[in-house]
């Protein structure tokens, strides 16, 4: 099978984690030459071929490095366009990109971009890319992420922006370092975000959450809180107790739920045991009402495009070509882009 030619749906991709290393260097080089940056060359910080980041080294890569490159609208625009081009070249026909709205400050501390301006810059880049590539069939929507480290006020601001830009923004997400708001964190648990996610549902926005990503964020109490938000999709779904697995399966049987599973990210970051054959994709593929969608998570970091994720799934789980196509189609019912987009995908993928 030609896995690049296979029409694919990408539902779990973080914007900043999807930027290629070459694009990071293209952003870094002119700023460094102009004396605007003192951080190291991306080629040294993220050498080609290095993909074995774990949860301890992964999150600082963004907070201490990648965010320091995306300090203005032109850089953010270049990064977004590059990410879209890479996904389209890999045969993705529908993409839901996610990003956490960020305030961007100049070196002297003055405000360059508000959170809303940051999101509008990304949306404008998406719109311009789609106009420039009209013959291509990839459509892109945006999800805004609430970081676990955010304050309740930050989360409320993210919801306000999502509501203001609804249509191009199709949902909100909970993401970030699993250690944040884990048991014992003085900032409190993820329950502080319950009012925001409840309000998002009432406004008709879709909801996805990073779910049971690591043991520290996988207590039954936390996962029950997240399930009480009635999320439309769950990301990662790794460290579940039998009781919570039953809750997820029941949601699938009752009305369906999307599962965003990321093979290479989970294996390379040692989030699962048993390598690719031991990945929980095999457990969830046939679960009633649980619509599995493969995702890259952070292809710029882990180096596995979506075509390779399908190749890995076929190789390690013995999928025939038709079974691989069926797996790719499972994500259709879980997209946040509406019924017209689902019909477009059905025409393309059958």
CATH at residue 207? 3.20.20.140
* pLDDT at residue 62 greater than cutoff 80: no
Start-to-end Cα distance in the chain = 16
Residue 143 pLDDT: 99
Q: Using 50, 70 and 90 to split pLDDT, how confident is the model at 154?
A: very high
Residue 50 pLDDT: 78
| pLDDT tens-place string over residues 80-127 | 999 999 999 999 999 999 999 999 987 777 899 999 999 999 999 999
* pLDDT at residue 176 greater than cutoff 90: yes
Q: Which CA distances in Å does 281 have to 25, 233, 320?
A: 34, 15, 16
Position 1 in a domain: no
Residue 42 pLDDT: 85
Position 199 in a domain: yes
* pLDDT at residue 334 greater than cutoff 90: yes
Answer yes or no: 343 catalytic: no
Taking alpha carbons only, the member of 46, 107, 97 closest to residue 76 is 97
Position 167 in a domain: yes
* pLDDT at residue 144 greater than cutoff 90: yes
Position 2 in a domain: no
Position 117 in a domain: yes
Place of tokens 């249509």: 167
Position 143 in a domain: yes
Write down the mean pLDDT value for the chain.
Answer: 95
Of 213, 222, 260, 309, which one is the catalytic site residue? 213
The residue among 43 and 241 whose pLDDT is bigger is: 241
Helix, strand or coil, per DSSP, at residue 294? strand
Q: How many domains, the chain?
A: 1
Position 301 in a domain: yes
C-alpha 254/C-alpha 342 separation (Å) is: 21
Position 62 in a domain: yes
Range of the domain at 309: 8-349
Q: Which of 18-22, 32-36, 168-172, 260-264 is predicted with the least confidence, judged by mean pLDDT?
A: 32-36
């Amino acid at each position: 099978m030609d896995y690049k030619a296979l029409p694919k749906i990408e539902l779990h991709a973080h914007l900043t984690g999807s930027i290629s290393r070459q694009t990071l260097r293209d952003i870094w080089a002119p700023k460094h030459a102009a004396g605007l940056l003192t951080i190291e060359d991306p080629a040294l910080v993220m050498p080609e071929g290095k993909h074995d980041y774990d949860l301890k080294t992964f999150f600082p890569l963004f907070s201490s490095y990648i965010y320091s490159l995306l300090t203005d609208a032109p850089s953010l625009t270049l990064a977004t366009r590059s990410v879209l081009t890479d996904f389209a070249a890999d045969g993705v026909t529908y993409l839901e990109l996610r990003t956490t709205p960020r305030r961007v400050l100049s070196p002297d501390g003055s405000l360059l971009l508000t959170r809303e301006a940051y999101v509008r810059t990304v949306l404008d880049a998406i719109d311009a890319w789609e106009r420039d590539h009209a013959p291509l069939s990839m459509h892109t929507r945006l999800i805004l992420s609430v970081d676990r480290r955010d304050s309740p006020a930050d989360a409320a601001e993210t919801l306000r922006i999502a509501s203001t830009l609804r249509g191009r923004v199709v949902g909100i997400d909970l993401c970030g370092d699993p250690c944040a708001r884990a048991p014992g964190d003085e900032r409190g648990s993820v329950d502080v975000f319950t009012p925001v996610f409840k309000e998002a549902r009432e406004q008709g926005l879709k909801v996805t959450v990073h779910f049971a990503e690591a043991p520290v964020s996988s207590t039954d109490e936390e996962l029950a809180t997240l399930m009480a938000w009635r999320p439309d999709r769950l990301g990662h779904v790794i460290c579940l107790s039998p009781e919570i697995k039953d809750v997820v399966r029941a949601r699938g049987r009752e009305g369906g739920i999307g599962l965003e599973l990321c093979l290479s990210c989970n294996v390379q970051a040692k989030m699962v045991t048993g390598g690719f054959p031991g990945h929980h994709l095999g457990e969830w593929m046939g679960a009633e009402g649980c619509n599995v969608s493969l995702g890259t998570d952070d292809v710029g970091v882990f180096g596995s495009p979506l075509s390779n994720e399908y190749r890995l799934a076929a190789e390690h789980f013995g999928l025939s070509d038709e079974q691989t196509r069926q797996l790719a189609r499972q994500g259709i019912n879980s997209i946040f882009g509406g019924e017209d987009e689902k019909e477009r995908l059905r025409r393309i993928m059958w």
